[in-house]
Structure 1
Amino acid sequence: MKRNANGSGSIRQRANGKWEARVTIGINPGTGKPIRRSIYGNTQKEVRQKMTAVIRELDKGTYQEPSKMTVAEWMDEWLSTFCTNSVKPLTYSSYEGIIKNHIKPSVGSIALQSIKGTHIQKLYNDMTKQGLSAKTVKNVSAVLHKALSVAMKQGFIIGNPCEAAELPKATKHEIQPLSDEEIPLFLQAIESDSMKNAYALCLFAGLREAECLGLSWNQVDFEQGRITISQQLQKEKKKGAKYYIADTTKSGKPRTIEPPAIAFEYLREEHLAQQQNRLRAGEVWSNPENLVFTNTVGNHLAFSTFYKHFKKIAEKIGRPDARPHDLRHTAATVAIASGSDIKSVQDLLGHATASFTLNVYTHTSEKMMQDTANRMQSYYENLAKKA
């Protein structure tokens, strides 16, 4: 009975000479009538083979109604329907950019039901040939994998073809913090720079650039010597992009840190300078977010300006390769070298796990472990002498 209702078929030759097979693919639950699909071909043999393939899929439960939807069309649907209210604005913008710049140009025109692992592998290979990093390829893969996983759950495709493609091996980027000799040179070099206090805070508190430039005075507790990191300055990733304050951190969780007292010395200096700028600016002063670091009329600082100023300073101290993010690396390295445990460093930096912190600062943590071993050795030697 089930076979007659689902999977039965018939073949006939049409008036134009073409052949047609009609296959029952299911029963309409509302009317109880069979749902049939027509398959066409130039010969009876061709149509019979197609019909047999459909019946085989029906028996296996893997049959799908043909769809002309392309990968590009599905990516747009996935983005607007499944991402709009479920991801952060910055993440949404990032997905948009990845889809527009990488996925659509490469596999966008392919029918969603026809995309294979080979198509995706070619996408990865082409990106690598263009000189894009393994991390960039991985980011593109993550977006495509998520979108196709949802397509699979919705019944548009049977499996996720991303599973059949291999990502390029990522080469671990070795961090380059400022050395013990370079730190004093850096602090001296920033003395005459208008962004001095922002750079100093990144160095002493290990803040990310976006966290530093998005920091509000409401988050600074001078009395307790604490800073709460719960927001960041961000810029839209599109033409005519605007800056905005994102009320979250990269990890998605706020954190409260207690940096060394010297960090608050620079913050107090910035607070005084800002008050003076406010008096000079008068009515044109505008700082609605109560940001710590602003220009002379209260507006937020620009990432590009922050970067350019830093590169000039880095050049002065003989480190033209240094980036603003290396100040954060320096803070972590100094914390570990001075005896802080990995969990404390994780909390300072806002990493999701201590294992991630250990992985990033492998060389420094190895030195810390060796120092611990030496201290334990000394302890046991002293016990032996007392025995």
Structure 2
Amino acid sequence: MVTRKNRRTANGSGSIVKRSKMVKGKVYEWWEGRYCVGTNNGTGKIRRPTITGKTQEEVAEKLRAVTAAIDAGTYTEPSKMPLKKWADIWLEDYTSDLKYLTKKTYKSQIENHIKPGMGAVKLGELTKHLVQSFINDLTRKKDLAPKTVKNIHGVLSAVLDTAVELDYIRVNPCAGAKLPRAPKTEVKPLTDEQINDLMKLIDADEYCGPMLKLILFTGLRVSEAIGLTWNCINYKTGTIRIEKQLQERPKKDGGYIFDTTKSDKPRMLTPAPAVMELLKQQGIKQLEAKNKALDQWQGWKDEKERKTSLVFTNEYGQHLRPNIAWRHLKKLAAQVGAPEACVHDLRHTYAVLSLQNGDDVKTLQENLGHATAAFTLDRYGHVSEKMKEDSAARMQKYIEQIKKAE
């Protein structure tokens, strides 16, 4: 819910208001200013478009620029703004609450699809038919996958939702668009035989083996495993706190940095004792690597620094790279008859194993860090062949009990 604070006027530039809203427990704040520009032909009411910014001074400057443009006769009404221009403004000013990779994906979809397809169309001239034609072209002419088309439509809809909120357009023309039906991809976990064979190979992989085993038996995302630090492990309580992930970004955007989890919420895992023992052994191996590397060691320097250092590192104390983990798993999986498997399939395998062993969906949701149990149920609600066989065996046992009672 959006709230309003500290109503002020800056240097006579108009009414400027501080706004805030809470998203997933985090408060986001910005400044908003409105200006008058004629009346609505239909209602006769004064039209007051909105300008936003990160600071009061930024909004005041924008308001002065708009006022000057109106006085000079060079002002362009928001409804006459090309979609490509508004999309750039939206990316800059209205995506601060999005994670880096999400924003990067949105920008890619805008630059590669939305701008080329509809960028020249003015906001006020967008119609449901134009949007539907755009969707159809993505499907038929560009032959994009249904899921990709759905994602592009979602970004366009978000861009135009904000335009509606700011009174730039009356309705969102994306509403009601007919999207291609995307076939549901089936999760393919590793079989028990493949897991047994994989464990033998993983044990011989000193570089990525321990981390891959942790992912398989806890369901961590690879970015969460790579970003796990020693202070998140409590051997006394047998728990692991998952509160961050290590993300790869271009050097210009900071390179590798810590970020919050995908759901923005930390979670506490209580893994099997064997997992805690695995982590203890990893600590011993890391200390041995440090002693062997000597001056080449680039990781933690002392025990105090170690507490906040990474659990999984290479022989020089540097963080592991996601692509290296994927490459190692691919090579190992091919040897056990699962050449298409990737690191994320270890997470899927953990989820199915948990359900097979009696975990309820709510527990699995919390362990995986999903936003809702509904998502977990939709993703893993199908039953494996083993679960079908177990169900049949239970029914057979029940039938036999009935026969004995007759």
The bucket for the TM-score relative to the shorter chain is 0.7 to 0.9
The within-5 A match list for 1:23-62 is: 57-58=42-43
- Residue 163 of structure 1 aligns to a residue whose secondary structure is coil
Equivalent position of 1:250 in the other structure: 262
Alignment partners' CA distance in 2, 1:76 and 1:236: 21
Alignment partners' CA distance in 2, 1:249 and 1:35: 47
- Residue 190 of structure 1 aligns to a residue whose secondary structure is helix
Matched, 1:224 2:237: yes
- Report deviation, 1:142: 2.0
Matched, 1:105 2:116: yes
- Find the partner of 1:302 among 311, 321, 328: 321
Equivalent position of 2:180 in the other structure: 168
- Checking the alignment, whether the CA contact within 8 Å between 2:157 and 2:174 is kept in structure 1 is yes
- Find the partner of 2:365 among 338, 346, 351: 346
- Checking the alignment, whether the CA contact within 8 Å between 2:229 and 2:310 is kept in structure 1 is yes
The within-5 A match list for 1:206-355 is: 206-236=219-249, 242-246=255-259, 248-283=260-295, 284-287=297-300, 290-355=309-374
Equivalent position of 2:381 in the other structure: 362
Judged with a 3 Å threshold, the aligned counterparts in structure 2 of structure 1 residues 158 and 362 are, in CA distance, closer, same or farther, namely same
Matched, 1:119 2:126: no
- Report deviation, 1:70: 1.0
Count of equivalent residues: 336
- Report deviation, 1:135: 2.5
1:111-146 per-residue CA deviation (whole Å, 9 max, x = no partner) reads 121122233333333333434333322222222211
Judged with a 3 Å threshold, the aligned counterparts in structure 2 of structure 1 residues 211 and 123 are, in CA distance, closer, same or farther, namely farther
Matched, 1:151 2:170: no
- Checking the alignment, whether the CA contact within 8 Å between 2:223 and 2:246 is kept in structure 1 is yes
Matched, 1:188 2:200: yes
- Find the partner of 1:74 among 86, 104, 123: 86
- Report deviation, 1:320: 0.5
Judged with a 3 Å threshold, the aligned counterparts in structure 2 of structure 1 residues 181 and 66 are, in CA distance, closer, same or farther, namely closer
- Report deviation, 1:368: 5.2
In percent, how many aligned pairs have the same letter? Answer: 40
1:68-108 per-residue CA deviation (whole Å, 9 max, x = no partner) reads 31111111111222222x33333333322222222222222
- Report deviation, 1:59: 6.6
Letter aligned with residue 126 of structure 2: I
- Report deviation, 1:296: 1.6
Judged with a 3 Å threshold, the aligned counterparts in structure 2 of structure 1 residues 240 and 152 are, in CA distance, closer, same or farther, namely closer
Letter aligned with residue 89 of structure 2: E
- Checking the alignment, whether the CA contact within 8 Å between 1:358 and 1:365 is kept in structure 2 is no
- Report deviation, 1:383: 9.8
- Checking the alignment, whether the CA contact within 8 Å between 1:339 and 1:368 is kept in structure 2 is no
The within-5 A match list for 1:124-143 is: 124-129=135-140, 130-143=142-155
Letter aligned with residue 82 of structure 2: T
Question: 134-143 vs 196-205, which deviates more?
Answer: 134-143
- Checking the alignment, whether the CA contact within 8 Å between 1:93 and 1:237 is kept in structure 2 is no
- Residue 245 of structure 1 aligns to a residue whose secondary structure is strand
- Residue 258 of structure 2 aligns to a residue whose secondary structure is strand
Higher-Rg member (1/2) = 1
Letter aligned with residue 227 of structure 1: I
Judged with a 3 Å threshold, the aligned counterparts in structure 2 of structure 1 residues 346 and 158 are, in CA distance, closer, same or farther, namely same
- Checking the alignment, whether the CA contact within 8 Å between 1:204 and 1:262 is kept in structure 2 is no
- Checking the alignment, whether the CA contact within 8 Å between 2:246 and 2:258 is kept in structure 1 is yes
Question: 185-194 vs 281-290, which deviates more?
Answer: 281-290
Q: Which runs of 5+ in 1 are unaligned?
A: 1-28, 37-53
Q: Which runs of 5+ in 2 are unaligned?
A: 1-34, 50-76
Letter aligned with residue 142 of structure 1: G
Letter aligned with residue 329 of structure 1: H
Letter aligned with residue 268 of structure 1: K
- Checking the alignment, whether the CA contact within 8 Å between 2:78 and 2:123 is kept in structure 1 is no
- Report deviation, 1:352: 2.2
- Checking the alignment, whether the CA contact within 8 Å between 1:232 and 1:245 is kept in structure 2 is yes
Equivalent position of 1:14 in the other structure: none
Alignment partners' CA distance in 1, 2:251 and 2:149: 20
Question: 370-379 vs 93-102, which deviates more?
Answer: 370-379
Alignment partners' CA distance in 2, 1:293 and 1:204: 16
Letter aligned with residue 321 of structure 1: E
Letter aligned with residue 195 of structure 1: C
